[in-house]
Structure 1
Amino acid sequence: MSTPRNRTSAADVPRDAYHHGALREALIAAAEAVLAERGLEGFSLREVARRSGVSPAAPAHHFGDAEGLLAAVATLAFDGLTAALKAGDERGGSDPVAQLREQGLGYVGFALKHPGRFGLMFRCEGYKSEALAQSGRAAYGVLEAGVRRLCRVLEGAELTPAQQQSLLAIWSVVHGFAHLALAGQFDSLLPARGREAALRGLLAPLLEQQLQALRPVRPLRRRRLGAEK
């Protein structure tokens, strides 16, 4: 499979739109394109400015420095991931296993659609941005809420060590799957067409098996004394 890439760039925004408040969005789009192509190591404000057709000082005027621009991109990334996870909850209906399965599919789908954002969002823990911190907590909260529903743990109650390990295991599976898919490791398993359905066919059974094993077993009802055997 040729892994999807986010080709959005500032070039898609008309230059005259910059005078109407679109420059900030164009800079973010250019930053995403640089991240998708070069990674964080190859990122620079100068390259973002060049792709946006503005002076090297323009990004600093809007975001302060490179960290400010990257924090803005990462915040959008976590907001988008939160939306993808919540959409998974909706698709899963009232079954907590189905909800978490669809969350996992939404997680991987987000990563494939936005490789630039996905490659950045877990590498910016040291950035001093309260908006970024809040967005990260919100995304994690959706996953944790799904695990609480599966394990029948009330909101606010502390997860047991085993339940916390289950949460981390689910996260690790979808996060690792996303990175492998982005690296093209599943290319030989996927057809030229219908890749989204094929990815679901690979990941959904894996998640289903893992999640079913985490579902609490209902205790057997005791027979009443004197009941017929």
Structure 2
Amino acid sequence: MTESEFRHEGLAATLLEAAETELSQSGIERISLRAVAKRAGVSHGAPAHHFGDARGLLTALAAKGYQRLLHYQTSREETAGPEPLARIIASGLGYIEFAVAFPELFALMFNSAVPDRSDTRFFNVALSVFERLVENTQAHNGRNPYTDPDSMKDLMASWSVVHGLAELIISGRAERTLGLDQMTEAQREETLTAILLRVNRTGS
């Protein structure tokens, strides 16, 4: 990588960091290239030079979010051991942990029409997260979801519960029924694991 390319990559990373801060403080609707540039301490034209427009910037930020989500899931799986059920539960816990830690970024990735989902980088990293679920599902039930309709139903059931639980926790709607905020970290983990086991235990 040349010095020019290094500076280019460094500025892009700085802009994405500033964009994530703006996203968390101002929301998707109010974020602007000008505000991101100001927060990053660069010229107003820098974000447009790197990302084209606000949609390009937020697409890149969402792709970065998927990379981070995959890291959270991978880190959880590495501590779970080799047993397939333990790994698929750990992956789900990592998904929820990411969503709770970065709710605005999670909303951008999954609930917003802003990112260009045909963008190659975005598509590939989002696909890698899905492929992880495919691999975990196949390891758990012994059947490839792409070729076995029942296995794909298992995958969708597991994903739906994990994603829905993440959404309910972020919105506060799960608090009244589960009381997660009143629990210790260990109790919270035990409760969430028990919920995920209800849909993943049989591997049927």
| Shorter-chain TM-score above 0.5 | yes
The answer as to whether partners of 2:55 and 2:116 remain within 8 angstroms in 1 is no
Question: Which amino acid in structure 1 is aligned with residue 165 of structure 2?
Answer: F
1:142 is aligned to 2:100? no
Structure 2 distance, partners of 1:161, 1:31, is 40
- Give the deviation of 1:134 after TM superposition: 0.7
Structure 1, 101-110 or 179-188: larger mean CA deviation: 179-188
Task: Please give the root-mean-square deviation of Cα atoms over the aligned residues, in Å.
Answer: 2.4
Question: Which amino acid in structure 2 is aligned with residue 134 of structure 1?
Answer: N
Q: 2:33 aligns with which of 23, 45, 63?
A: 45
Residue 12 of structure 1 corresponds to: none
Greater relative contact order (Cα 8 A, min sep 6): structure 1 or 2?
Answer: 1
Residue 120 of structure 2 corresponds to: 130
1:183 is aligned to 2:190? no
Residue 171 of structure 1 corresponds to: 159
**More helix by percentage:** 2
- Matched residues, number: 194
Find the residue that maps to 1:40 and give its secondary structure. coil
Aligned-pair identity (%): 34
Find the residue that maps to 2:143 and give its secondary structure. coil
| Structure-to-structure mapping, 1:141-160, within 5 angstroms | 141-153=131-143, 158-160=146-148
The answer as to whether partners of 2:62 and 2:122 remain within 8 angstroms in 1 is yes
Structure 1 distance, partners of 2:18, 2:100, is 18
User: Whose Rg is larger?
Assistant: 1
TM-score by length of 2: 0.83
The alpha-carbon distance between structure 1 residues 49 and 104, as it changes in their structure 2 partners (threshold 3 A), is same
Superimposed CA distance per residue, residues 10-61 of structure 1 (whole angstroms, 9 cap, x where no aligned partner): xxxxxxxxx7964322211121122223332222212212222333212112
Question: Which amino acid in structure 1 is aligned with residue 98 of structure 2?
Answer: F
In structure 2, runs of 5+ residues without a counterpart are: 1-6
Find the residue that maps to 2:22 and give its secondary structure. helix
In structure 1, runs of 5+ residues without a counterpart are: 1-18, 217-229
The alpha-carbon distance between structure 1 residues 208 and 127, as it changes in their structure 2 partners (threshold 3 A), is closer
